Amino acid sequence: KERTLALIKPDGICGNFANQIKQVISQSGFVIIHEMMVQLDVRNATLFYSEHSAKSFFPNLVEYMTSGPVVVMVIEKTNAIADWRALIGPTDAGKAKVSHPNSIRAMCGSNSERNCVHGSDSPQSAAREISFFFGEISPG
Ligand code: ATP
């Protein structure tokens, strides 16, 4: 079995989609191993998304990710990383509504920024992101 980090972003929490998203997670064969609600500060959001720090949308991304609480979960199943990415759908939730109407981003997201959920994109990111939130020693 494999584990990945699933994160419900502030728009997902604010729009009251958390329970629906967790239902889809369970119905899709994932087991939620750990779960917590956290309010990211600018420092933590910057660290979490540091790979995007040079992008033009980065300041907006940090503002968005710190705009309210998020729910972070470690979820487990066979092929969890790829299967969770497939379930959430394309980055741009507006396009997802057309191309992947059953995806979580189509159901709960709005556009290329406000896309309601995150998923680790590789075993390396999954390890980093799980220890970022659930490791015994917090980063920085
Ligand atoms: P995530 O890493 O959150 O799962 P992703 O891998 O689908 O998303 P990335 O390209 O890694 O997408 O971008 C990280 C996040 O930055 C996106 O999920 C989105 O919230 C935001 N983002 C990406 N592209 C844009 C954009 N063009 N304008 C505004 N925000 C964006």
* 3-state DSSP assignment of residue 116: coil
- Is ligand 1 within 6 A of the CB of residue 57? yes
% of the chain with per-residue pLDDT over 90: 96
pTM of the entire predicted model: 0.95
Q: Which two tokens stand for residue 122?
A: 């590789």
Mutate to test the pocket of ligand 1, among 64, 108, 115 (most ligand atoms within 8 A of CB): 115
- Dihedral pair phi/psi, residue 81, rounded to 5°: -65, -55
pLDDT score at 26: 98
> For residue 10, is pLDDT > 50?
yes
Separation of 52 CA from ligand 1 center, angstroms?
9
CB of residue 100 inside a 6 A radius of ligand 1 = no
Angle at 122 between CA 117 and CA 124, to 5 degrees: 115
Taken in order 51, 7, 17, 26, the sign of the CA dihedral is positive
User: Ligand 1 pocket: which of 58, 65, 84, 91 to mutate (most atoms <8 Å of CB)?
Assistant: 91
> Is residue 119 left, alpha or beta, with left meaning phi > 0 and alpha meaning psi from -120 to 50?
beta
Q: What distance in angstroms lies between residue 91's CA and the mean position of ligand 1's atoms?
A: 6
**Which pLDDT does position 108 carry in this prediction?**
97
Instruction: Report which secondary-structure segment, H or E, holds 63.
Output: helix 58-65
- How far is Cα 140 from Cα 133, in angstroms, rounded to an integer? 12
Output the CA–CA distances (angstroms, integers) from residue 106 to 17, 24, 33, in the order listed: 12, 13, 25
Please tell me the distance from the alpha carbon of residue 95 to that of residue 82, in angstroms, as a whole number. Answer: 20
Q: ipTM of the predicted structure?
A: 0.92
What are the tens digits of pLDDT across the range 92-139? 999 999 999 999 999 999 999 999 999 999 999 999 999 999 996 544
Tens of pLDDT, residues 27-77 = 999 999 999 999 999 999 999 999 999 999 999 999 999 999 999 999 999
**Quick check: is 118 catalytic?**
yes
The per-residue pLDDT for 86 is: 98
pLDDT of residue 136: 64
